[in-house]
Amino acid sequence: MSADLSEQECRLSLFSVLVIHIDKTLLQNQFVNYINYFVMKSTRSFRGPSLILLAIVHIAVFVSNLVVVAALRHGAPYVNPFATGEALSAFFLQNPAAVRIGNLLLFGSAIPFGIFAVTLVSRLRFLGVRAAGTNIALFGGITAANALILSGISGWILSLTEVAVQAPLAKAIFFFSFLSGGVAYAVGFGLLAAGVSVTSYFTRILPRWVVVLGIVVALAGELSSLSLVTYPANYLIPISRYVGFIWMLSVAISLTRNKQKVQITKDENTRPSHSSAQLAGTT
């Protein structure tokens, strides 16, 4: 009889140890879940510069470039690289300040544009977009920013008297600056708009009208590459540029408005499960 009692007491003690072990395991799991929840909650918001501010700064600096050049050339007619070398040389010699400051501002506009493109792609990836379109957009944005940098630097060289007096050299440099800030920029901007718009169409991150506007910018930018073989295609460059300004602001405002909704969704996805809490409580 005493042997049976001892065996029952042994079984009860083993059962108690097993219950205590399971209870501790469940409590530990629940504790880890709550830690993960609060860590993810504290880091769920996107960390990066304001897209709206970057777009406004880029547009403002670029437009100031046009305004300053128009003011400093004192009514002198604008020349394009298709003019004669003598006409180009005379323009650069007569307006060195306009050439120098204008290209400085053009160079400066590339910085907020490049940061805008990188931040935009980073924001899309933060929102869960995992597609080749984000890489295409990043390549296009960096290409367009570098094109503006090259255009501004090479154009600044034309403010030097030693360069401007040599008509063939001035014409060649001006063509390089024109192509960099024109077709190269437009093609890169088109890739940025295409990558963002196509991925946003399938993920529905952006409104449909913003997506359509981005497709228009992308088509104008890519088709502007035909300007290398036919002059009328040059008219597509200002379309991609100035319509692109509207698209940049629209994308920035749309993503900023969606920020609160995205945070609420992430809260719901990272909140600990109530079923595990109830299971731990029942034990």
| pLDDT in the model for residue 37 | 46
| Encoded tokens for 68 | 């300053």
- Give how far Cα 214 sits from Cα of 110, 139, 199, Å: 20, 16, 11
| Rounded CA separation 55/114 (Å) | 10
| Rounded CA separation 88/133 (Å) | 41
Residue 242 binned pLDDT confidence (cut-offs 50, 70, 90): very high
CB atoms within 10 A of CB 109: 25
CB atoms within 10 A of CB 142: 18
Q: What percent of the chain has pLDDT over 90?
A: 63
Calculate the average pLDDT of the chain: 82
Please determine, for residue 260, whether its predicted confidence score (pLDDT) is greater than 50. no
| Encoded tokens for 119 | 């931040």
Out of 113-122, 129-138, 184-193, 252-261, least confident range = 252-261
Q: Which residue type occupies 127?
A: L
Residue 79 binned pLDDT confidence (cut-offs 50, 70, 90): confident
| Encoded tokens for 250 | 């629209």
- Give how far Cα 204 sits from Cα of 3, 129, 207, 254, Å: 73, 11, 7, 11
Q: What is the pLDDT of residues 142-175, one digit of tens each?
A: 999 999 999 999 999 999 999 999 999 999 999 9
| Rounded CA separation 124/172 (Å) | 40
| Rounded CA separation 114/135 (Å) | 14
Please determine, for residue 80, whether its predicted confidence score (pLDDT) is greater than 80. yes
Residues with Cβ < 8 Å from 83, sequence gap 6 or more? none
| pLDDT in the model for residue 139 | 97
Q: What is the pLDDT of residues 27-73, one digit of tens each?
A: 455 544 544 444 444 446 777 789 999 999 999 999 999 999 999 88
| Encoded tokens for 105 | 């501002």
| pLDDT in the model for residue 27 | 47
110-119 mean pLDDT = 96
Q: What is the pLDDT of residues 5-37, one digit of tens each?
A: 455 555 545 555 454 555 555 545 554 454 444
| pLDDT in the model for residue 275 | 41
Give the predicted TM-score (pTM) of the model: 0.76
